[in-house]
């Protein structure tokens, strides 16, 4: 499968934080969710892709080309929605369109206006818009570009479920064209459970896993048992555990194998949130 | 590049309007009634430099640079557009000054040559100040940059005062003529060098 984005052993060191050996492949026609706690390294990874920060080592290829050497060529086909970073609040959508037409080759004014109508966005300045409207405006500006890769940094945080669902529908539409891909960083994992094909989990600057979402959800399970039963299991299969009043709850790998070996144990489906939570706890 | 300048003009449209109103009030009060036209012309050019600096504050407020770097524009172009905007604003201010002087000449007897010289020197002075402060703004940010600009503006006065106190016997008239004539070309050279330095700073900056 052809990849729109390939990250190999990306490292970036700061005084108090390091992104270490991140390797991710994002195939065409795929939505990948980038998850992790605040400060885990999601935005740093995105910034490295966009050459906003200088990587210390590793390689980033977008559409098969080095992201620094072919930066301008790549950016013609990459659209980005950032959590922080857009036009000044006094600017109106119409002015955004005029500027984008001058900056971006083939910026589609018609498409931009269609999105404005579809999103019911007013023609007033950004400062008079709600957060949801603002995200939609950023998205309209991103989608009106002839992009093959869409990168979104926390686009749905702080939005109500209706707006979020609307945005997720648009993202699904975007990857109908199998040459296109989306990398979306979010800590609202329920959104990613709905739309992502792959999940990449970054924790403390390291990639914990980058897996197909369905395989991930099939692989991990939540085991509810007592301590004695838990001790029966191979420790390497246990990612983390939590005791409560009645029993012990543990996140386990190889759900099916455990079910087969110990039919008496109850292994439930784990959500992405739970998978993330237990991985984070294991390290604390 | 034109897109970036357009964005700055849209961002500053309110400021530009305020500037225009202020200018009109200033022109009315000092130009027509008090006849202190040099003060008005200098003020208008100084206002343009303040607007140039505001562009950095607006960008910081909206994290514009982060967004700009996701677009197909090089870092060099981003800096270049800002340097061009500053020149544009100063030229607009100087044009307003010229129009004003020509208008005033219809009603009053004014020393045209002196006024034109004062605009010329003021443009040079502001450009030199900005040539020094813009790279510092790229390095340290808009707030500190503004302080640096104000501090730098005091330097010439300190030097003049120092020279006066030292009792140096300078060939004033010839010296000042020389200084005036070469002030703007010198300022433009400084401005060009400043652009090169600012580009280097911006190329190495992380966001």
ipTM of the complex: 0.89
Distance from CA of A45 to the nearest CA of B (A): 12
Tokens of A38: 């605040």
Distance from CA of A193 to the nearest CA of B (A): 27
Of A68 and B49, the structure prediction assigns the larger pLDDT to: A68
Best of B4, B10, B76 to disrupt the A interface by mutation (most A CBs within 10 Å)?
B10
Model pLDDT, residue A126 = 93
Strand pairing class (A78-81; A238-243): unpaired
Residue B33 above 70 pLDDT? no
**Chain B partners of A151 at a C-beta cutoff of 8 Å?**
70
Cα dihedral A175, A181, A186, A188, rounded to 10, equals 30
Q: Above pLDDT 90, what percent of chain B?
A: 38
Distances (CA, A) of B131 to B26, B126, B150, B192, B196: 27, 8, 13, 8, 10
Tokens of A54: 């200088």
- Cα separation, B151 vs B129, whole angstroms: 10
Q: Which of B205, B195, B194, B179 is nearest to B77 (CA)?
A: B195
Compute mean pLDDT per 10 residues along chain A, 284 residues long, and list them: 91 93 94 92 94 94 94 94 92 96 93 92 91 90 94 84 86 92 90 92 93 92 83 80 82 85 85 88 64
Could you say which DSSP state residue B34 is in?
A: I
Contact B71 A104 (CB under 8 A): yes
Residue B172 above 80 pLDDT? no
**In the predicted model, what is the mean pLDDT of residues B31-50?**
77
Q: How many CB atoms lie within 10 A of CB A203?
A: 18
Contact B11 A91 (CB under 8 A): yes
Reported as a single tens digit per residue, the pLDDT across B96-147 is: 888 888 887 777 777 778 888 888 988 998 999 899 889 999 998 888 877 8
Do residues A5 and A26 lie in contact, with contact meaning Cβ atoms separated by under 8 Å? yes
Could you say which DSSP state residue A270 is in?
A: P
Best of A15, A78, A103, A105 to disrupt the B interface by mutation (most B CBs within 10 Å)?
A103
Domain extent at residue B58? 2-203
Model pLDDT, residue B134 = 92
Number of domains forming the structure of chain B: 1
Model pLDDT, residue A198 = 95
Contact B3 A100 (CB under 8 A): yes
CB neighbour list of residue B100: distance below 8 Å, 6 or more residues apart = B27, B31, B37, B40, B41, B44
Reported as a single tens digit per residue, the pLDDT across B64-102 is: 999 999 999 999 999 999 999 999 999 988 998 888 888
Model pLDDT, residue B167 = 67
Cα dihedral B89, B91, B97, B100, rounded to 10, equals -100
Contact A90 B10 (CB under 8 A): yes
Domains and CATH numbers, chain A: 3-77+147-212 (3.40.50.300), 92-141 (no CATH), 220-282 (no CATH)
The minimal CB distance from B67 to the residues A54, A86, A98 is found for A86
Round the average pLDDT of chain B to a whole number and report it: 85
Minimum CA–CA partner of B56 in chain A: A88
Distance of CA A48 to the CA centre of its chain: 15
Model pLDDT, residue B149 = 73
- Cα separation, A92 vs A148, whole angstroms: 27
**In the predicted model, what is the mean pLDDT of residues B29-40?**
70
The pTM score is: 0.87
């Amino acid at each position: 499968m052809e990849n729109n984005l390939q990250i190999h052993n990306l490292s970036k060191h700061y005084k108090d934080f390091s992104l270490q050996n991140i390797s991710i492949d994002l195939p065409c026609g795929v939505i990948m969710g980038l998850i992790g706690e605040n400060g885990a390294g999601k935005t740093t990874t995105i910034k490295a892709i966009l050459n906003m920060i200088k990587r210390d080592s590793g390689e980033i290829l977008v559409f098969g080309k080095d992201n620094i050497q072919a930066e301008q060529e790549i950016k013609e086909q990459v659209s980005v929605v950032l959590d922080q970073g857009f036009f000044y609040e006094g600017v109106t959508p119409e002015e955004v369109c005029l500027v984008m037409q001058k900056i971006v080759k083939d910026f589609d004014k018609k498409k931009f206006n269609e999105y404005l109508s579809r999103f019911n966005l007013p023609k007033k300045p950004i400062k008079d818009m709600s957060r949801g409207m603002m995200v939609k405006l950023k998205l309209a500006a991103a989608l009106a570009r002839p992009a093959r890769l869409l990168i979104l940094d926390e686009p749905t945080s702080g939005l109500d479920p209706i707006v979020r669902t609307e945005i997720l529908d648009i993202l699904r539409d975007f990857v109908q064209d199998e040459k296109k891909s989306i990398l979306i960083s979010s800590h609202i994992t329920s959104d990613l459970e709905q739309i992502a094909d792959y999940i990449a989990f970054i924790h403390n600057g390291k990639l914990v896993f980058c897996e197909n979402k369905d395989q991930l959800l099939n692989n991990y399970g939540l085991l509810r048992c007592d301590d004695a039963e838990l001790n029966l299991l191979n420790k390497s299969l246990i990612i983390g555990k939590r005791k409560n009043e009645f029993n012990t709850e543990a996140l386990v790998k190889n759900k099916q194998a455990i079910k087969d070996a110990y039919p008496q144990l109850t292994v439930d489906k784990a959500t992405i949130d739970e998978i993330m939570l237990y991985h984070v706890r294991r390290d604390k | 590049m034109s897109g970036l300048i357009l964005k700055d003009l849209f961002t500053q449209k309110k400021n530009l309007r305020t500037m225009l109103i202020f200018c009109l009030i200033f022109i009315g009060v000092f130009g027509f009634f008090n006849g202190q036209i040099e003060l008005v012309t200098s003020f208008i050019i100084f206002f343009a430099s303040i607007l140039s600096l505001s562009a950095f504050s607006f960008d910081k407020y909206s994290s514009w640079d982060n967004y700009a770097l996701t677009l197909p524009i090089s870092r060099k172009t981003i800096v270049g557009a800002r340097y061009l905007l500053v020149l544009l604003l100063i030229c607009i201010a100087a044009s307003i000054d010229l129009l004003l002087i020509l208008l005033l000449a219809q009603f009053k007897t004014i020393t045209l040559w002196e006024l034109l010289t004062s605009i010329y020197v003021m443009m040079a002075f502001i450009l030199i100040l900005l040539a020094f402060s813009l790279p510092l703004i790229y390095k340290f940010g808009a707030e500190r940059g503004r302080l640096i600009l104000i501090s730098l503006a005091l330097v010439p006065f300190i030097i003049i005062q120092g020279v006066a106190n030292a009792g140096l016997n300078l060939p004033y008239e010839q010296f000042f003529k020389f200084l005036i004539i070469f002030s703007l070309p010198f300022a433009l050279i400084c401005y060009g060098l400043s652009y090169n330095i600012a580009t280097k700073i911006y190329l190495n900056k992380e966001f």
